C-alpha cells in the first residue's frame, strides 16, 4: 500500500478539515458566541477539541492496524 | 440474480410493523394544537429524544443498500461519509443553531428573506422544495424496489401503499408524531443493523476454523481494512472527491440547510439541549450508524473470501445487503431486518414531508394569502399540504426509476441543488459584507456555471486532484469542489461591487450578533444567574395571562424574577418533555411548592392531575 492510500488521505482530511475547524473555533470565540468565561460554555470548548482528536485518533488507529496487517 | 423474497412469516412481520408505527404515530396527534406544535413540536423536547430521532432521519432506506455496496467493494472506507462531520460542528453549535432558535425563523427560506429579500426567499424555497420532494420520491422508490419483490405487488402500487401508510400518522400528529415514531424507529434501525452484524460474525465463526470476529478481520485484505479510500483512485470511489462532496458540501448542507434537521433542533427545549443532541449524535451515534449501514457489505466480503460458494456467483454489489441478510438470518428475522429498512424509509420520508409542508405553509401560503388565516385553518392546510407533497413525490417516482441507479439519481440531486444554497447560507451567516444582489447572483449565476461544468468537464479539471476523467460521464464527486468555488466566487465578486447592507438590517442574523440573541428572544435583559430546578404541584388558575406563578421562596431558589422565562414539564424524565410548556414567571405568591398555571398551559402540556411538575428558569 502506498502513501496515497494510507496517510495522504488522513493528512488531507485533518489538514483541510482542520483549517475549517480552527477557523470556526476562532470565529465563535472572537464573536463571543462561545464565551470561555461562562461555566456552561467551558465544557463545550473541551467537547469540541475532544471530538476533533477522537476522530483523528480513530482514523489513525485503523490506518496503523491496516498497515500492520500487510 | 434472483435472491430471497422472504416467507409468509417475514410478510406478517413487515405488515405488523407498519400497523404498529401508524398507530403509534397517530396517538401523538393530540399534542399538535397549532402550526408551531405541528411543525416544531412546541420547542419542548429533551436532547436524547432529539438525538435518536435524528438518527432515524439521517439513515435513509437507501443508506443500507448504498453503504453495503461500497463496503462490499472497498471495505471499511465505506464509513468515510459518516465520520467527517466534525469540522463544521463549532459553527453549527455556536453560530447557526442559536440564530435559528432565537430569531424564531420557521424555515430556511424565511432566513433568506430576513437576511436578504423576498426574491432570495422564493428562489431558496423553490430549490429547497425541489430537493426535498425529489428526495422523498427516491426514498419511496428504494423501499418499493425491495418490498414489491416480497409481496409481489406492482412497484407503483407498493409506492402508493407506502405513501398512504406514512400519511396516516403524519396527517394528525405532525412533528410530535415524527419525533416519537422516529425515536422508536431509530432504535429499531440500530438494533436490526447490529443484529445483522452479530449474525454475520456468528456465521463466519460457524463456517471457519477461527472465532467469528477473528475470521471477519482476517478475511479482509489490508486495503479493505483502511478507514479512508485511496486519495484519488478509482474515479467512482476516491477520498478527495468524497471529502469535497460529502465532508464539505454534504456536511454544511445537512447541518445548515436540511429543513427537517433544523426543525428537529427547533423542537429542542433549549439551545443547550440542541447542542447536546448535536454533539452526542456526531460523536457517538454516527460511528454506530456507520457500522449499522455498512456491515452487511463487510460481512459479505469476508464470507466471499472465507466461504467460497456461499454467496451466489456473480453477485452484483447492489444486491449484497439482501443476499447477506438472507444467508445469515432465519425466517422472521429476515422480515424484521426488512422492517428496519421500512423504518429507515418512513422516518426519513416523514421528516422530509413535514419539512416540505412547513416550507409551503411558511414561505408560500402565509406570504401570499390575502386574508389572515386562523391557526386552525393553517393547521388544516398544513395537514393537506403534507398529503399533496406525497402525491407529487409519488408522481416523480417513474422519473427517478428511469436513472441507471438510485444512487445516480440521488447524486444528481445532491450535486445540483445543494451548492448554491450552501454558499448562500454560509456566507450569509459568517460574512456581513455578503449582499442581496450577491446571493441572487450566487443562485442564478452559480447555477449557470455549474450547468456549464456538467456539459464541459474540462472546466472541472483544474480541481480534479488527479482524478481520472471518465469519458461521457464527467467527474462524479470532485465536481462539488468546482460547484462550491464558482458559486462562492460569484457571491464574493458581486458583494465587493455592490453596496453593503446596513448593520440594522442584519441584527441577529449573523454570527456577530449571537451574544445578543438571548436578549432579543426574551425581549428584556437576560437573567444568567444559576438557580435550582424545582418539583412543584400545579393548580389551575383561570386566567388568560401567559404567566406561571410560584412562591417567593421557590423563585428565590430558582434565582428567578417576574418576567423571566420558565419551562415546566411532567416530572417523569423519560417523557423527554412531551408533557411540557414554556411561559413567563408571574408575580409571586406565598404557597411554597405550588405553581399556578393557566388553561392554555394545561392544554399544551397535557399535564396529569396529581402528578408533580419540574420547573426550571430558562433565562
Q: Say yes or no: B232 contacts chain A, CB-CB below 8 A.
A: yes
**Same domain for B551 and B489:** no
The cell numbers describing A49, all together, are 477539541
For the cut 60, the answer to whether the pLDDT of residue B3 exceeds it is no
**Same domain for B448 and B589:** no
| CA B603 – CA B109 distance, rounded (Å) | 31
Residues A12, B239: C-beta atoms closer than 8 Å: yes
The cell numbers describing B614, all together, are 419540574
Residues B87, A9: C-beta atoms closer than 8 Å: no
Q: For chain A, how many structural domains are there in total?
A: 1
Q: From B494, B516, B537, give the residue that closes a domain.
A: B494
pLDDT digits (tens, 9 = 90+) for B274-316: 999 999 999 998 999 999 999 999 999 999 999 888 888 788 7
Q: Is residue B516 one of the residues assigned to a domain?
A: no
Q: Is residue A5 one of the residues assigned to a domain?
A: no
- Asked whether the beta carbons of B574 and B614 are under 8 A apart, the reply is no
Q: Is residue B506 one of the residues assigned to a domain?
A: no
The cell numbers describing B610, all together, are 396529581
Kind and range of the H or E element at B228?
Answer: none
Helix ranges (H only) for B460-551 are: 479-496, 503-506, 517-522
Burial, B185: exposed, middle or buried (Cβ in 10 Å; 0-12, 13-18, 19+)? buried
**Same domain for B106 and B224:** yes
**Same domain for B469 and B591:** no
**Same domain for B20 and B160:** yes
Residues B514, A51: C-beta atoms closer than 8 Å: no
Q: For chain B, how many structural domains are there in total?
A: 2
Choose the weakest-confidence range: B91-95, B101-105, B490-494.
B101-105
- Chain B residues inside the 8 Å CB shell of A10: 228
Closest chain A residue to B272 measured between Cα atoms?
A40
Ramachandran region of residue B500, left (φ > 0), alpha (ψ -120 to 50) or beta?
beta
Phi, psi of A4 (to 5 degrees): -65, -15
Closest chain B residue to A40 measured between Cα atoms?
B272
Q: Say yes or no: B553 contacts chain A, CB-CB below 8 A.
A: no
Interface test with B, best of A7, A14, A20, A26 (most B CBs within 10 A): A20
Residues A17, B511: C-beta atoms closer than 8 Å: no
Q: How far is A10 from chain B (nearest CA, A)?
A: 7
Residues B228, A20: C-beta atoms closer than 8 Å: no
Q: How far is B277 from chain A (nearest CA, A)?
A: 13
Inter-chain Cβ pairs, chain A and chain B, closer than 8 A: 122
B569 Cβ partners below 8 Å, 6+ apart? B44, B269, B575, B577, B579, B580, B581, B605, B613, B614
**Same domain for B353 and B439:** yes
Among the partner-chain residues B90, B222, B282, the one whose CB lies closest to the CB of A25 is: B90
Q: Is residue B21 one of the residues assigned to a domain?
A: yes
| CA B569 – CA B555 distance, rounded (Å) | 17
B193 Cβ partners below 8 Å, 6+ apart? B64, B289, B291, B292, B293, B295, B340
Q: Is residue A1 one of the residues assigned to a domain?
A: no
Q: Is residue A37 one of the residues assigned to a domain?
A: yes
**Same domain for B531 and B488:** no
Residues A27, B225: C-beta atoms closer than 8 Å: no
In this structure, the number of other CB atoms found within 10 A of the CB of residue A62 comes to 18
Residues in B 508-537 with any Cβ partner in A closer than 8 A: 511-512, 514-515, 528, 530
Q: Is residue B511 one of the residues assigned to a domain?
A: no
Confidence of residue B1 (pLDDT cuts 50, 70, 90): very low
pLDDT digits (tens, 9 = 90+) for B344-385: 777 777 777 877 877 888 788 877 776 666 767 777 777 788
Q: Residue B61: what pLDDT?
A: 60
Q: Is residue B90 one of the residues assigned to a domain?
A: yes
Burial B414-443 (b: 16+ CB within 10 A, else e): bbbbbbbbbbbbbbbbbbbebbbbbbbbbb
pLDDT digits (tens, 9 = 90+) for B122-149: 999 888 888 778 878 877 777 776 666 6
User: Which residue segment(s) compose the domain that B264 sits in?
Assistant: 8-494
User: Which residue segment(s) compose the domain that A56 sits in?
Assistant: 10-68
Q: Say yes or no: B562 contacts chain A, CB-CB below 8 A.
A: no
Confidence of residue A15 (pLDDT cuts 50, 70, 90): very high
ipTM of the complex: 0.96
Residue B560 belongs to a domain with what CATH number? 2.40.40.20
pLDDT digits (tens, 9 = 90+) for B49-66: 888 777 776 676 667 877
- Asked whether the beta carbons of B60 and B345 are under 8 A apart, the reply is yes
For the cut 70, the answer to whether the pLDDT of residue B404 exceeds it is no
Q: How far is B164 from chain A (nearest CA, A)?
A: 41
**Same domain for B155 and B42:** yes
| CA B572 – CA B574 distance, rounded (Å) | 6
Amino acid at each position: 500500500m502506498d502513501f496515497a492510500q494510507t496517510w495522504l488521505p488522513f493528512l488531507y482530511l485533518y489538514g483541510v478539515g482542520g483549517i475549517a475547524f480552527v477557523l470556526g473555533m476562532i470565529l465563535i470565540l472572537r464573536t463571543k458566541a462561545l464565551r470561555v468565561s461562562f461555566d456552561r460554555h467551558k465544557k463545550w470548548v473541551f467537547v469540541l477539541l475532544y471530538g476533533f482528536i477522537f476522530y483523528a485518533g480513530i482514523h489513525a488507529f485503523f490506518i496503523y492496524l491496516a498497515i500492520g496487517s500487510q | 440474480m434472483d435472491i430471497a423474497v422472504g416467507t409468509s412469516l417475514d410478510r406478517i412481520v413487515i405488515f405488523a410493523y407498519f400497523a404498529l408505527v401508524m398507530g403509534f404515530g397517530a396517538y401523538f396527534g393530540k399534542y399538535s394544537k397549532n402550526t408551531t406544535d405541528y411543525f416544531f413540536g412546541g420547542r419542548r423536547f429533551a436532547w436524547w429524544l432529539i438525538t435518536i430521532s435524528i438518527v432515524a432521519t439521517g439513515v435513509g432506506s437507501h443508506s443500507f443498500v448504498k453503504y453495503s455496496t461500497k463496503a462490499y467493494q472497498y471495505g471499511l472506507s465505506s464509513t468515510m461519509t459518516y465520520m467527517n462531520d466534525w469540522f463544521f460542528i463549532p459553527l453549527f453549535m455556536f453560530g447557526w443553531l442559536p440564530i435559528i432558535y432565537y430569531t424564531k425563523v420557521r424555515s430556511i427560506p424565511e432566513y433568506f428573506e430576513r437576511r436578504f429579500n423576498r426574491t432570495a426567499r422564493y428562489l431558496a424555497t423553490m430549490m429547497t422544495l425541489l430537493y426535498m420532494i425529489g428526495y422523498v420520491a427516491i426514498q419511496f422508490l428504494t423501499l418499493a424496489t425491495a418490498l414489491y419483490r416480497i409481496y409481489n405487488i406492482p412497484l407503483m402500487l407498493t409506492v402508493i401503499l407506502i405513501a398512504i401508510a406514512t400519511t396516516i400518522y403524519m396527517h394528525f400528529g405532525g412533528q410530535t408524531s415524527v419525533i416519537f415514531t422516529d425515536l422508536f424507529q431509530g432504535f429499531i434501525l440500530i438494533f436490526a443493523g447490529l443484529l445483522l452484524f452479530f449474525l454475520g460474525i456468528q456465521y463466519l465463526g460457524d463456517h471457519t476454523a477461527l472465532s467469528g470476529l477473528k475470521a471477519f478481520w482476517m478475511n479482509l485484505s489490508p486495503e479493505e481494512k483502511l478507514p479512508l479510500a485511496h486519495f484519488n483512485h478509482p474515479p467512482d470511489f476516491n477520498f478527495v472527491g468524497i471529502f469535497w462532496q460529502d465532508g464539505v458540501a454534504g456536511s454544511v448542507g445537512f447541518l445548515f440547510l436540511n429543513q427537517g434537521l433544523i426543525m428537529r433542533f427547533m423542537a429542542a427545549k433549549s439551545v443547550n439541549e440542541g447542542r447536546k443532541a448535536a454533539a452526542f449524535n456526531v460523536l457517538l451515534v454516527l460511528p454506530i450508524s456507520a457500522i449499522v449501514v455498512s456491515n452487511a457489505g463487510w460481512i459479505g466480503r469476508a464470507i466471499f473470501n472465507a466461504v467460497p460458494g456461499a454467496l451466489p456467483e456473480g453477485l452484483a454489489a447492489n444486491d449484497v445487503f439482501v443476499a447477506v441478510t438472507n444467508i445469515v438470518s432465519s425466517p422472521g428475522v429476515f422480515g424484521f431486518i426488512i422492517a428496519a429498512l421500512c423504518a429507515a424509509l418512513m422516518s426519513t420520508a416523514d421528516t422530509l414531508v413535514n419539512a416540505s409542508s412547513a416550507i409551503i405553509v411558511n414561505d408560500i401560503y402565509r406570504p401570499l394569502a390575502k386574508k389572515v388565516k386562523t391557526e386552525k385553518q393553517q393547521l388544516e392546510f398544513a395537514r393537506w399540504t403534507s398529503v399533496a407533497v406525497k402525491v407529487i413525490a409519488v408522481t416523480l417516482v417513474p422519473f427517478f426509476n428511469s436513472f441507471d441507479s438510485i444512487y445516480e439519481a440521488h447524486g444528481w440531486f445532491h450535486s445540483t441543488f445543494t451548492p448554491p444554497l450552501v454558499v448562500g447560507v454560509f456566507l450569509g451567516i459568517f460574512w456581513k459584507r455578503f449582499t442581496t444582489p450577491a446571493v441572487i447572483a450566487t443562485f442564478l449565476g452559480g447555477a449557470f456555471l455549474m450547468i456549464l461544468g456538467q456539459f464541459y468537464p474540462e472546466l472541472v479539471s483544474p480541481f480534479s486532484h488527479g482524478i481520472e476523467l471518465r469519458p461521457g460521464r464527467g467527474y462524479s464527486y470532485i465536481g462539488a469542489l468546482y460547484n462550491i468555488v464558482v458559486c462562492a466566487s460569484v457571491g464574493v465578486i458581486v458583494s465587493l461591487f455592490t453596496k453593503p447592507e446596513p448593520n440594522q438590517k442584519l441584527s441577529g442574523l449573523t454570527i456577530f450578533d449571537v451574544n445578543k440573541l438571548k436578549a432579543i428572544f426574551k425581549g428584556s435583559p437576560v437573567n444568567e444567574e444559576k438557580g435550582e430546578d424545582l418539583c412543584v404541584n400545579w393548580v389551575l388558575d383561570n386566567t388568560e395571562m401567559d404567566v406561571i406563578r410560584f412562591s417567593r421562596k421557590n423563585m428565590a431558589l430558582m434565582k428567578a424574577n417576574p418576567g423571566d422565562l420558565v419551562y415546566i414539564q411532567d416530572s417523569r424524565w423519560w417523557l423527554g418533555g412531551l408533557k411540557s410548556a414554556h411561559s413567563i414567571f408571574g408575580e409571586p405568591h406565598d404557597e411554597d411548592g405550588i405553581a399556578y398555571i393557566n388553561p392554555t398551559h394545561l392544554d399544551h402540556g397535557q399535564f396529569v392531575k396529581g402528578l408533580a411538575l419540574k420547573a426550571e428558569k430558562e433565562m
